[in-house]
Amino acid sequence: MPDLDLTASSVDLTRVICDIPSVSGEETPLADAIEAAVRALPHLEVLREGDTIIARTDLGRAQRVVIAGHIDTVPIHDNLPTRDIDVDGEAYLWGRGTVDMKAGVAVQLRLAAELVAPRVDITWMWYDHEEVDADLNGLTRLSRTRPELFAGDFAILGEPSNGEVEGGCNGNLRALVRTTGVRAHSARAWVGENAIHRAAPILARLAEYRPRDVEVEGLVYREGLNAVRISGGVAGNVIPDACEVEVNYRFAPSRTAEEATQHVHDVFAGFEVEVVDLAPGARPGLDAPLAQEFVAAVGAEPRPKYGWTDVARFSAMGVPAVNYGPGDPHLAHHDEERVPLAQIVSVERGLRAWLSAP
């Protein structure tokens, strides 16, 4: 098991933890390393639930902040080990996980070790399975088994936000839209009914769909409804009797999960629709006093979060939450994933200043 030196710089920690592969479902080696490192810190109470590590201060402060980051990544695609690169005169760390979101985790680990007496009590959470279905998410599991650990006045997710504060997040829905037909030999196609051809109206509705821009508490969220996968076919000489179009709906936090589900059924009226994954969004949560103090302290102008993040989980549990981490969200999951070194340092500085302020 690799050792993590939490006295190292956040940049060096990012290199180390990125070079420990932790694709969703394979997080155990990194979780083991994190657990060993934080258990050596006497000012933290450490718990483990599967591959999710929780470390807490208990200083009797009047307020508690939860700071969380996921330790898994999407699959590696010839982009490990990490390497230092220069882009237009700026220093970057390149490689899988540098943006989403091990640079944010590195900052958190560095500060968890350093901040022995922060201004608020802190619950640090490093969790598994964020990049896959919501039911597998480490925070989903933890919310069922230890919901009291989520108690706090404010939460920060270290998701990539270009070092800015991103409030709330869009909801995320995946659904299968199905067609059926009748199998036949392709030489006698008129005997059958082609299920793939019957999917043409589904694609037409998607091509004609115009997503909304929705203002929620001063932030404008962009929605989107897109086909992400099509499956069908039996063999090269068989008319297919079934076809599925998987669609992904990103919906503004002003919609409930039920409203989003109904919207997808309305768009694809006349077709069989099965929702297979659904995660509600989160309103910005920037009206909370601690959120306002945090935004002022880091000197950021809040923006909306277009992707789904676990701020939604905290919001559902009554804890206002924002996203704040190094890295450009546009490079998350990208083969050229890379994070500016200066941004890692800047986010660490901002969090430290706020958490250390009297």
DSSP-assigned letters across all residues of 189-257:
GGGSB-TTGGGHHHHHHHHH--PPEEEETTEEEEPEEEEEEEEE-S-TTEE-SEEEEEEEEEE-TTS-H
Q: Which residues contact 342 (CB under 8 A, 6 or more apart)?
A: 90, 91
Structure tokens given for 105: 């985790």
Alpha-helix runs per DSSP H in the chain = 10-18, 28-39, 103-114, 138-145, 200-208, 257-267, 289-298, 311-316, 341-356
pLDDT the model gives residue 1: 64
Spatial separation of the C-alpha atoms in residues 253 and 170, rounded to whole Å: 5
- Tell me the CB-side half-sphere exposure of residue 40, using CA atoms within 13 A: 13
The chain-wide mean pLDDT, for the chain, equals 95
Q: List CB contacts of 318: < 8 A, sequence separation 6 or more.
A: none
Torsions phi, psi for 9 (to 5 deg): -65, 160
Model pLDDT for residues 19-78, shown as the tens digit of each residue: 999 999 999 999 999 999 999 999 999 999 999 999 999 999 999 999 999 999 999 999
> Rounded distance, CA 184 to CA 193, Å?
8
**Residue 63: its pLDDT value, please?**
96
Amino acid 300: pLDDT: 82
Whole-angstrom CA distances from 75 to 79, 173, 294 are 10, 22, 34
Q: pTM for this structure?
A: 0.86
Angle separating helix axes 103-114 and 341-356, nearest 10 degrees: 40
Separation of alpha carbons 218 and 220, rounded Å: 7
Place of tokens 């082609």: 194
For the annotated catalytic residues, the residue numbers are: 72, 130
Residue 20 CA to residue 76 CA, distance in Å, equals: 11
How close are the terminal C-alpha atoms of the chain, in Å?
A: 38
Tokens of 30: 């990194």
Segments of the chain scoring below 70 in pLDDT: 1
Please give the pLDDT value at position 307.
Answer: 86
